[in-house]
Amino acid sequence: MSTIIIHEVGLRDGLQMEKQIVPMAQKAKWVEGLIDAGVDIIQLGSFVHPAKMPQMADTDGLFSYFTERNLQDVTLSGLVLNEKGFERGLACGVEMFCMGVSASETHSQKNTGMSIADATSVVLGMARKALALRKTVQASVQSAFGCGYEGEIPASRVIHIVERYLDAGIKHISLADTAGHATPDKVEELFGTILELDDNIECACHFHNTYGLGLANTYAAMKAGVKCVESSIAGLGGCPFAKVAGGNVCTEDLVHMLQRMDLRHDINLGTLIDLAVDVSTFFGREMPGMVYKTGPILAGEIIT
């Protein structure tokens, strides 16, 4: 667990549920804070049509702004859903392309307007092009642990999609608990099976805290051998196409847990807490995260 990587998805998954548009200058300020805190990967946004999701209309501009600075200690990722989005990502300097397929036919249709089979073909085509250009590709299976519309998702369906990814040369695989249905036992079991499929596979996990199990599921994934955790500052987030939307695992809560486990002391938790407070102030409401409200347990502190 000493090599756990933090992939911050608040600027994308976190904001896609927010009706209040966040100006690009404010987003850039939050990104600067995440960079200063020492987060490993930051997802700046998704390349979707502005009319469909106005919150993501400035994704190209954000990437152009930050890629021009030639940052050395952080990777910038972007989500692409189709070929047009992929071309936009290439044009503005995306380093790491995130793409995925839902294991739920209903969620796939609501999210992309495509069946699982058609969405898989699109993703594999984009992935092959990106890999040929020596870009990093992370492919996810969404609704991997259940669906609000369909209920339980067969593990065999998830594994089949992952095998298609591996056959295409994709080694970075993420399982996303879009509906928040995962439980620690199922998480450990499914990730354990997938990690046995290929010696070079690198797994990421993406949990939503819809039913309060986000951090517990994250820990189970880490026990199974997952090296990368996707999380969102202040616990923002939720899929707008899920039946019941819940926020992501909270970044500052995750880092607090890791540091209590004597991991990732290189990340500045205080900076993350300050960011969460700023997010709360901007939206004018209390955020789902806990540590920004309670304060962290500091090393050596006596708890009474």
Tell me the pLDDT tens digit for each residue of 49-97: 998 899 999 999 999 999 988 888 999 999 999 999 999 999 999 999 9
> Would you say residue 302 has pLDDT above 80?
no
> Would you say residue 228 has pLDDT above 50?
yes
**Burial zone of 164 (CB within 10 Å; 0-12 exposed, 13-18 middle, 19+ buried):** middle
Question: What residues contact residue 124 under an 8 Å CB cut-off, 6+ apart?
Answer: 164, 165, 168
pLDDT band at 304 (very low <50, low <70, confident <90, very high): very low
239 is catalytic: yes
Residue 267 lies in a domain: yes
Catalytic residue among 147, 228, 239, 250: 239
Span of 105-109, 150-154, 236-240 with lowest mean pLDDT: 236-240
Share of the chain above pLDDT 70, in %: 94
Q: Is 246 left (phi over 0), alpha (psi -120 to 50) or beta?
A: beta
**Burial zone of 25 (CB within 10 Å; 0-12 exposed, 13-18 middle, 19+ buried):** exposed
Supply the mean pLDDT for the chain: 93
Residue 300 lies in a domain: no
Q: What total of structural domains would you count in the chain?
A: 1
Residue 196 lies in a domain: yes
The model carries a pTM of: 0.94
Q: How far is Cα 246 from Cα 255, in angstroms, rounded to an integer? A: 20
Residue 184 lies in a domain: yes
Domain enclosing residue 92, as ranges: 5-294
Residue 272 lies in a domain: yes
Longest CA pairwise span in the chain (Å)? 57
C-beta separation of 180 from 288 below 8 A: no
CATH code for the domain in which residue 116 is found: 3.20.20.70
Q: How far is Cα 16 from Cα 48, in angstroms, rounded to an integer? A: 11
> Would you say residue 124 has pLDDT above 90?
yes
Residue 303 lies in a domain: no
In tens, the pLDDT along 239-291 reads 554 555 568 999 999 999 999 999 999 999 999 999 999 999 999 999 999 99
